[in-house]
């Protein structure tokens, strides 16, 4: 069977629009967790460190990804975080027990330093407030510190700390995973809904221009899902712009076919949250449609066992350092396809996380930095997936796996960039043995020509990248071709592909 063709079809038409893609769908996340900050983005002793201690080699890789927004400072960490610990003179900042990850937080990096880093990375900041151990007061004070121009206690405190102009951070998360029993200050849906609504009202008085994200379920397996969404939105619907979704996937049973189908679970998760939001919209007779912020997503399971051996209360321990495989990159490609196909409602999304902690970028503290396997589908989709998402009509053969039925071998998304007169197809061939031959009817793109076909492929689904040896990297020798005004896409077995056409 190896090397044989399995055939499928696609119809792509520029009239079949899903939505304009919000660039923030390609966001990421930096939490004070493990070596994400210390030894990751911040490493003052590093040869490439700038005057603030930020690693330039890491910044270069982040800029390559064109990450538009980065969520900060957590994550679970934010639910017991006092933002005041991380501002002002560094020598006066307290060292704290960080309860979420049993680490010691030095507070060498805080709100202002991270804002500076994000500016260097050409990214906006998505700031989370502590609704675990704190609430309305701390949230409104932090917002005043960040966004108010001056003449008040907290805005003048920012100025005293060397920042005369406000940061103007526009996107704010009302806590993190408050449905989770593991969360410091875990709340019931009623408790969280009331607190989030009142916090949102106060924050909007301080700055009416901000966008707010209400906590949705920590994952779709939570026993309270989707009742949590319905109950909390009863309180927050009129005051917030987004509800959050979080989901991580793993291949614990070493079943590649089943693992590659897990983006179908993500698709179902998104559809369920949309349905729940629209139920509350109807119930409230509201004209507003709730948008989704999928602000934590990735593959996460490789590091689970080694994380149990970490010494408690150490500074920047090597936590959640998943080393990603080739098959992980394929699922990441499919997850990005899923987000694009829901771009009418998913307006923000954050790959969690960005450096060292379940991340596309890895570093040695004081040493080199490298691209993990998952870097590549993220890079190409972020750079070339800008414009309008198109709904293609697909006929693909299917398979059944342990947890899924009718899984299409062809997983795809299509982006039309009208300004650049460019059509981009992102496609994953989930078939473990056979190539996929895809007839693509590009009826309304008759004068478009094939520019490149980038392929990520490897015979070993478990192949990984290290600092000194990159086993998984893309090539541009894809075998797609034009024939009678249609595109014939040849997708190697078990591969991620980007096919780009231009007028």
Only one residue has tokens 């040869």, namely 47
Which sequence positions are flagged as catalytic? 177, 296
Buried b (16+ CB within 10 A) or exposed e, 364-392: eeeeebbbbbbbbbbbbbbebbbbbbbbb
pLDDT score for 475? 98
Asked if 374 and 326 count as a contact pair (C-beta separation under 8 A), the reply is: no
pLDDT score for 1? 36
Threshold 0.95, pTM exceeds: yes
Structure tokens at 388: 């309008």
Cα of 310 vs its chain's centroid, Å: 26
pLDDT score for 4? 82
Cα torsion angle, 385, 176, 178, 101, sign: positive
- Domain architecture of the chain: domains with CATH: 5-14+390-502 (2.60.40.1180), 22-238+245-270+293-384 (3.20.20.80)
Q: Residue 307: which of 41, 39, 103 has the closest Cα?
A: 103
Buried b (16+ CB within 10 A) or exposed e, 63-86: eebbbbbbbbbbbbbbbbbebbbb
CB atoms within 10 A of CB 420: 14
Asked if 474 and 380 count as a contact pair (C-beta separation under 8 A), the reply is: yes
pLDDT digits (tens, 9 = 90+) for 276-302: 999 999 999 999 999 999 999 999 999
Averages of pLDDT over each 10 residues, the chain, 503 residues: 80 97 98 98 97 98 98 98 98 98 98 98 98 98 98 98 98 98 98 98 98 98 98 98 98 98 98 98 98 98 96 97 98 98 98 98 96 98 98 98 98 98 98 98 94 98 97 97 93 98 96
């Amino acid at each position: 069977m190896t090397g044989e063709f399995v055939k499928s079809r696609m119809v792509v038409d520029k009239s079949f629009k899903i939505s304009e893609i919000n660039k923030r769908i390609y966001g990421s996340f930096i939490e004070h967790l493990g070596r994400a900050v210390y030894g990751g983005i911040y490493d003052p002793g590093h040869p490439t460190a700038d005057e603030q201690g930020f690693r330039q080699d890491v910044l270069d890789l982040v800029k390559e990804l064109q990450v538009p927004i980065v969520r900060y400072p957590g994550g679970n960490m934010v639910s017991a975080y006092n933002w005041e610990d991380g501002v002002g003179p560094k020598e006066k900042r307290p060292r704290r027990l960080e309860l979420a990850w049993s680490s010691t937080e030095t507070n060498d990096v805080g709100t202002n330093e991270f804002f500076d880093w994000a500016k260097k990375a050409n990214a906006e900041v998505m700031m989370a407030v502590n609704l675990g151990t704190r609430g309305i007061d701390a949230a409104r004070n932090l917002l005043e510190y960040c966004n108010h121009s001056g003449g008040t206690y907290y805005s003048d405190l920012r100025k005293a700390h060397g920042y005369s102009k406000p940061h103007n951070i526009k996107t704010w998360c009302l806590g993190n995973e408050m449905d989770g029993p593991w969360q410091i200050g875990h709340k019931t849906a009623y408790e969280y809904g009331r607190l989030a609504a009142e916090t949102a009202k106060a924050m909007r008085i301080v700055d009416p221009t901000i966008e707010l994200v209400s906590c949705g379920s920590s994952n779709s397996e939570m026993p309270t899902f989707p009742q949590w969404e319905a109950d909390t939105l009863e309180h927050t619907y009129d005051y917030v712009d987004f509800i959050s979704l979080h989901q991580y996937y793993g291949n614990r049973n070493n079943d590649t076919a089943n693992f590659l189908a897990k983006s179908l679970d993500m698709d179902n998760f998104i559809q369920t949250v949309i349905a729940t939001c629209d139920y509350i919209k109807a119930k409230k007779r509201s004209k507003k449609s709730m948008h989704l912020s999928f602000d934590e997503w990735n593959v996460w399971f490789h590091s689970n066992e080694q994380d149990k051996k970490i010494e408690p209360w150490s500074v920047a321990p090597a936590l959640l350092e998943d080393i990603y495989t080739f098959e992980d990159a394929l699922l990441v490609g499919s997850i990005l396809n899923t987000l694009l196909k829901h771009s009418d409602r998913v307006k923000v999304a954050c790959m969690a996380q960005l450096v060292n902690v379940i991340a596309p970028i890895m570093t040695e503290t004081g040493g080199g930095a490298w691209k993990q396997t998952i870097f590549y589908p993220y890079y190409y989709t972020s750079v070339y997936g800008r414009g309008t998402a198109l709904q293609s009509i697909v006929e693909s053969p299917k398979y059944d796996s342990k947890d899924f039925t009718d899984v299409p071998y062809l997983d795809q998304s299509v982006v039309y960039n009208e300004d650049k007169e460019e059509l981009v197809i992102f496609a994953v061939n989930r078939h473990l043995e056979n190539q996929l031959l895809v007839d693509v009817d590009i009826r309304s793109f008759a004068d478009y020509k094939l520019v490149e076909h980038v392929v990520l492929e490897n015979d070993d689904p478990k192949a990984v990248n290290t600092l000194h040896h990159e086993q998984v990297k893309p090539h541009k020798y894809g075998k797609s071709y034009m024939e009678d005004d249609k595109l014939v896409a040849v997708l190697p077995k078990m591969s991620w592909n980007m096919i780009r056409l231009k007028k």
